[in-house]
Amino acid sequence: MPAPSLLHALSYAFVQHAIFAGVLAAILCGVIGPFVVVKRLAFIGGGISHAAFGGLGLCFFLGWNPIWGAIGVSLLFAILLGLVDTEKVRSQDALIGVLWAAGVAAGIVFIAKTPGYAPNLMTYLFGNILLVTKADVWITFALSAVVLATVALFYKGLVAVAFDEVFARVQGAPVRFLRTLLLVLMALVVVILIQVVGIILVIALLTIPPVIALMLCRDLKWVILTSIGLGVAMTLAGLGLSYEADLPSGPVIILLGTAVLLAVYAARRTWKKGGLEIRGPGERA
């Protein structure tokens, strides 16, 4: 039986849920992603998303909505890391690695012990946006509102901490609070992203749009707006493509984004002799 046409598919509730969750996720990525990239939090993001799997598994085992487990564990993770002294970078790095693996291990054990139908691990690891329920959509919507409002309220402090934490501290800004807040916001975004692209691919959606935007824009506000636009385009196009080609949505979204990233990179190298403009923190111009 041939799949219904793309337009016809749009009339299904589950497709609408998928699109709604995907667009919200992309907007959130656009807002938080630039902070993740410039502040080099990608590894922490990976740790949070994998640790969240433990929470997902626990809730599955208990017969609750897994999203609550993911929210609980990722918030714990973020707060814990926010409170670790930044001076002790090595211990933080190791801590992320431990929590990353322990979360996945716990999740697998819980799911293995869940009586009755064992859910397909692949669903969580690579996401299946078409399984997003109406309840998930509401939770996603509420989380998005919280994240966006918080970023708007604390924007000044978050930028100051992202750019120069030591200066902000000397000035008397509550740096530890702001750093933890940024991690908490990232944790909430990660939970939303897990539904769309899955645990393993969260990092890509969180970093690809801002990395492209950072190549194109010189102003943080434009980086954020461009990231949102790119994220939404990537998600929608990826969803459509995955539907047409009968492929899993998460990987299609990510591969599409990676292709755009490479194209922009190549175009910049061709048109501008200076080459790629993205530089890591501390690297000289």
Partner 1 sequence: MVDVETPLIEVRNVSFGYGADLVLEGINLAIYPRDYLAILGPNGGGKTTLIKLLLGLLTPRSGEIVDRLPDRPGKLGYVPQFSTFDRSFPLRVLEVVRMGRISRRGLLGPYNRDDQRAAEAMLERLHLADLAGRPIRELSGGQMQRVLIARALVSEPAILFLDEPTASIDAESRETLRTLLLELNEKIPIVVVTHDPTSIAAAVRHVACVNRGLHYHHELTNEALEEAYGCPVELLGHGVPHRVLHSH
The site for partner 1 (CB under 8 A) is made up of 34, 38, 153-157, 159-160, 162-164, 166-174, 214, 217-220, 222-223, 277-285
Q: How far is the CB of 161 from partner 1 (least distance, A)?
A: 10
The closest alpha carbon to 126, from 184, 48, 204, 29, belongs to 204
- Nearest approach in angstroms of CB 144 to partner 1 is 20
Q: How far is the CB of 232 from partner 1 (least distance, A)?
A: 20
In the complex, minimum distance from the CB of residue 162 to partner 1, in angstroms, rounded to a whole number:
8
Q: What sign results for the dihedral spanned by CA atoms 147, 145, 225, 7?
A: positive
Contact between residue 140 and residue 24 where contact means Cβ atoms under 8 Å apart: yes
Structure tokens at 78: 């973020």
Instruction: Select 24 or 175, whichever has its Cβ closest to partner 1.
Output: 175
CA gap 118, 126 in Å, rounded: 16
Closer CB to partner 1, residue 2 or residue 172?
172
| Closer CB to partner 1, 67 or 213, in the complex | 213
**Shortest distance in whole angstroms from residue 245 CB to partner 1:** 36
User: Closest distance between partner 1 and the C-beta of residue 39, in Å?
Assistant: 9
262 contacts 276 by C-beta, under 8 angstroms? no
Q: Using DSSP, state whether 23 is helix, strand or coil.
A: helix
**Which amino acid is residue 153, in one-letter code?**
L
Residue 123 or 150: the one with the smaller Cβ distance to partner 1 is: 150
Q: Which one, 244 or 277, has the nearer CB to partner 1?
A: 277
Give the position of tokens 């329920």.
133
Q: Which of 168/204 has CB closer to partner 1?
A: 168
- Torsion-angle region of residue 78: left (phi > 0), alpha (psi -120 to 50) or beta? alpha
Query: What ranges in the chain are assigned the alpha helix state H?
Result: 6-9, 13-38, 42-62, 66-83, 89-113, 121-126, 134-163, 165-170, 175-197, 202-216, 220-245, 249-271
Minimum distance of partner 1 from residue 182's CB (angstroms)? 13
276: number of Cβ within 10 Å: 14
Are the CB atoms for 254 and 205 separated by under 8 Å?
A: yes
Select 8 or 272, whichever has its Cβ closest to partner 1. Answer: 272
